[in-house]
Amino acid sequence: MTYLTADVISTFTAEGAEPFTVDAGFEVGTDENIVILGPSGSGKTLLLESIAGFHGHDGTVTVGGTEIQDRPPEDRDFGFVFQDYALFPHMTVRENVEYGARYRESPRDADELLAELGVAHLAERNPPTLSGGEKQRVALARALAVRPEVLLLDEPLAALDVPTRQSLRDDLVDVLADVTSVYVTHNRTTARAIADRILVMQDGQVVQRGTPEDVFERPESPTVANFTGSNVVDLESAPSLRTLLNGDLVDSEQNGTGGSHPGRVSIRPEAISFGGADGEVRATVERVVREDATNRVTLAFDGVTVEAFADQPPTVGTEVALSFPRDRVHPC
């Protein structure tokens, strides 16, 4: 059931900069978590803040079938979690959580919320004495205390260190399980962990929407493929891969190349394996970079490069056989 709809046109002009316009629309179902994913400057935050009423905008915003675009922010019944926390430094943690709830008939209990988020012991502290992760948990509790119709979250994990971000991201998965929410981020890992559906933004427009699997496995353009971490290969420049695929992937009308072979394809780095039964392409190892528990390996063949992951990486300069499973290669 659709609960929130937004069809917004909003223009923002920063000092000394050209006006930037967002023109985007989407729907959110009851208890659905929508993630707006995109690079910095794509318009994600402007869209979210326009929905919240922080910026004047054209178009419509409805919640539960009621139009609210003419209401001020305090009457739109949203909870908002800011990237920079926006806590009142002169108030205690408990007072911060209770602040907005003063104007609600049946707010959630502040101490109960703080306990659920693992910060009950901080209730009498003031925000300047807290760590970044603690501040964000308090900010989340404050947003939830008013029992919002929809929770809006603007890059709430962006300023946190990696271990804290991972911990809070895990907690958010639980918190958002029965909440209707719109979550803005540029972080691919967070998007995949939290989203029921993802909207990818570029230059103020939504350029792709779908489930995490749709967006990450089947990007509809090189822009989306690159941003979500897929390899993009022009098969006209990679004859060995084109031969391996044997023209079975897509026809020229589907991919718009106008040629007799598939034109441009994407494939996830984790889908490429070294050797295997799906056919092989000979490639040279150009670079190996350690990433947490694995290695990102850059490989070159036919004048193009791709990246793959390997727990036990080959040596730079060696030639290896790469396997490309056909069901993981998609036109883009």
Give pLDDT tens digits for 30-44: 999 999 999 999 999
* Amino acid 230: pLDDT: 97
- What CATH number corresponds to the domain at position 151? 3.40.50.300
* Boundary residue ending a domain (191, 222, 253): 222
328 HSE (CA, 13 A, CB side):
14
Q: Examine the domain organization and report whether 57 and 128 are in the same domain.
A: yes
Higher pLDDT, 13 or 100: 13
pLDDT-above-90 percentage for the chain: 80
Statement: residue 128 has pLDDT above 70 = yes
- The region, left, alpha or beta by phi > 0 then psi within -120 to 50, assigned to residue 147 is left
The DSSP result for 3-55, as a single string, is EEEEEEEEEE--TTS--EEEEEEEEEETT-EEEEE--TTSSHHHHHHHHHTSS
The helices-and-strands tally (H runs, E runs) of the chain is: 10, 18
Q: Examine the domain organization and report whether 190 and 261 are in the same domain.
A: no
Estimate to the nearest angstrom the gap between the alpha carbon of 190 and the chain centroid. Answer: 6
pLDDT band at 183, cuts 50/70/90? very high
CA-to-CA distance for 202 and 58, rounded, in angstroms? Answer: 20
Kindly provide the b/e burial profile for residues 51-76, where b requires at least 16 CB atoms within 10 angstroms of the residue's own CB: bbbbbebeeebbbeeeebbeeeeeeb
Q: Examine the domain organization and report whether 38 and 154 are in the same domain.
A: yes
Count of domains forming the chain: 2
Q: Examine the domain organization and report whether 120 and 256 are in the same domain.
A: no
3-state secondary structure of 237: helix
Residues 6+ apart with CB under 8 A from 105: none
Statement: residue 255 has pLDDT above 80 = no
Mean pLDDT, to the nearest integer, of 86-103? 91
Q: Examine the domain organization and report whether 321 and 240 are in the same domain.
A: yes
Per DSSP, helices labelled H in the chain are 44-52, 93-99, 110-116, 132-145, 162-175, 188-194, 212-217, 222-227, 239-245, 252-255
Q: Examine the domain organization and report whether 168 and 69 are in the same domain.
A: yes
Q: Examine the domain organization and report whether 238 and 186 are in the same domain.
A: no
Q: Examine the domain organization and report whether 14 and 163 are in the same domain.
A: yes
The single-letter code of the amino acid at 98 is: E
Q: Examine the domain organization and report whether 183 and 274 are in the same domain.
A: no
pLDDT band at 248, cuts 50/70/90? low
Q: Examine the domain organization and report whether 23 and 156 are in the same domain.
A: yes
Give pLDDT tens digits for 44-71: 999 999 999 999 999 999 999 999 999 9
* Amino acid 262: pLDDT: 52
* Boundary residue ending a domain (156, 188, 222): 222
For residue 267 the two structure tokens come to 């494939």
CA-to-CA distance for 130 and 220, rounded, in angstroms? Answer: 43
pLDDT band at 220, cuts 50/70/90? very high
* Amino acid 261: pLDDT: 40
CB 180 within 8 A of CB 34: no
* Boundary residue ending a domain (222, 243, 268): 222
pLDDT band at 141, cuts 50/70/90? very high
* Amino acid 267: pLDDT: 96
CA-to-CA distance for 277 and 272, rounded, in angstroms? Answer: 12
The 8-class DSSP code of residue 75 comes to G
Statement: residue 110 has pLDDT above 90 = yes
Estimate to the nearest angstrom the gap between the alpha carbon of 146 and the chain centroid. Answer: 25
- What CATH number corresponds to the domain at position 323? 2.40.50.140
Q: Examine the domain organization and report whether 213 and 72 are in the same domain.
A: yes
Strand partners, 206: 201
* Amino acid 106: pLDDT: 83
Boundaries of domain holding 23: 2-222
Q: Examine the domain organization and report whether 246 and 191 are in the same domain.
A: no
